[in-house]
Structure 1
């Protein structure tokens, strides 16, 4: 067994991957193949989708201190995100992906490298509380407000929302459309909260509990999550067409 591997993290990521594949399978049925599945528009479906993406982003931030060749990996992930944007805009423009989750994760992995000297100035518990607070405060900025879900605290100036750069940051330009939109804000704050959580686990000696292997199949999926993410949508699409 690899003593340096945190198998619990692999298992959590693997569980999120399975949920993602199931979610996207149903999404394809509803929005591409026009199946009538009313509950998929419900609050439960939204919570499910948020659980999946929040798990990926938080775990990615938690694992950031564990990685090697961090800049190279960040560039690869960002490049895959850009490639997915190009392919979907050409092949399926009505279901295009712009600034998707891989673009976000690659950006976070790159940006946190120069930001570490600044982040290290904060006590870990304070940094965790502050990053979570900023995530909750900026959760609604895509919709023009500071606030979280149904709680809109401050309406933001409309002139913030004007071009591709502002869209990337979290202020989508008029008529912007993407089937998978993860702007830098608010999600970078969730990524940073994962980073600070790792520091707390390390300081408290909790990391040893993450080395326990539980479900090897889930752990394998978690270790190969990037490859599975890249191939799962075209594979799902092909299988649905095959069976229909």
Structure 2
């Protein structure tokens, strides 16, 4: 339950901006290694991309969690979600036309837009839930339970594995949920299951932010550059890949004419 006796704090929660910015920073470098390694054939780009691949779910999950917290501070998640969905579909169209071998059919923008829409539609039910930590614990359990859905089973694996009907994977219509076959393509892919539970955990923790009851230390700015990146996360996400690709083309041209 929320601590009703805690003093309310107001103002921008700078640590949220800075953590979101850190996640964006990691994402830019990660995608940069992919571009250099796989689109331009550089060995070291492939090496560092593969080296950092195990870390991707952590900084992507951090971004989702912070986004879930932030939805408590939005005036209209439904409107924001619909706008973001339009942008996400624009990304799908552009990648399909420009780099069809790296098309993004359901990436993190698609995921976040659907989560925002659901948060907007379910706001009355979310507001009626007074508990915080019980739903968060349930989200953790459901994340672990559904984390391997795209691999054909419920549970964390090993002895704790419940196989799913193969019919769920016969087509790719359910790919946004996590059910797809080997023909599915998406260079950036974050299905609703299990990631929606990371976002949902952020929603419930965000009730503390809305009430001004986050720890005092979180309202202080420590790394302003990450804070700036966090506040401009969407535009950075949209432009970073074209910029990286353009810089690589320029370097390639300079080297070839050198």
Q: Do both share a fold (TM > 0.5)? A: yes
Q: Does 1:13 align with 2:26?
A: no
3-state DSSP of counterpart to 2:183: coil
3-state DSSP of counterpart to 1:165: coil
Partners of 2:11 and 2:185 in 1: how far apart?
42
Unaligned runs of 5+ in 2: 1-9, 253-258
Q: Which residue of 1 aligns with 2:80?
A: 73
Q: Does 1:104 align with 2:94?
A: no
Partners of 2:158 and 2:106 in 1: how far apart?
24
Match for residue 153 of structure 1 among 161, 166, 178: 161
Partners of 1:39 and 1:152 in 2: how far apart?
33
Name whichever of 141-150 and 28-37 sits farther off: 141-150
Partners of 1:64 and 1:28 in 2: how far apart?
32
Name whichever of 145-154 and 172-181 sits farther off: 145-154
Say how many residue pairs are matched: 241
RMSD over aligned CA atoms reads 2.1
When Rg is computed on C-alpha atoms for both structures, the one with the higher figure is: 2
Alignment of 1:176-215 (within 5 A): 176-200=184-208, 205-215=213-223
Match for residue 68 of structure 2 among 57, 61, 68: 61
3-state DSSP of counterpart to 1:132: helix
Cα deviations across residues 93-137 of structure 1 (Å, max 9, x unaligned)?
111111010000000000112223334436211100001111111
Q: Which residue of 2 aligns with 1:83?
A: 90
1:241 to 1:61, Cα distance in 2 relative to 1, 3 A: same
Name whichever of 3-12 and 111-120 sits farther off: 111-120
User: Does structure 1 retain, via aligned residues, the 8 Å contact 2:104–2:186?
Assistant: yes
Q: TM-score, normalised by structure 1?
A: 0.90
Unaligned runs of 5+ in 1: none
How far apart are 1:206 and its partner, in Å? 2.1
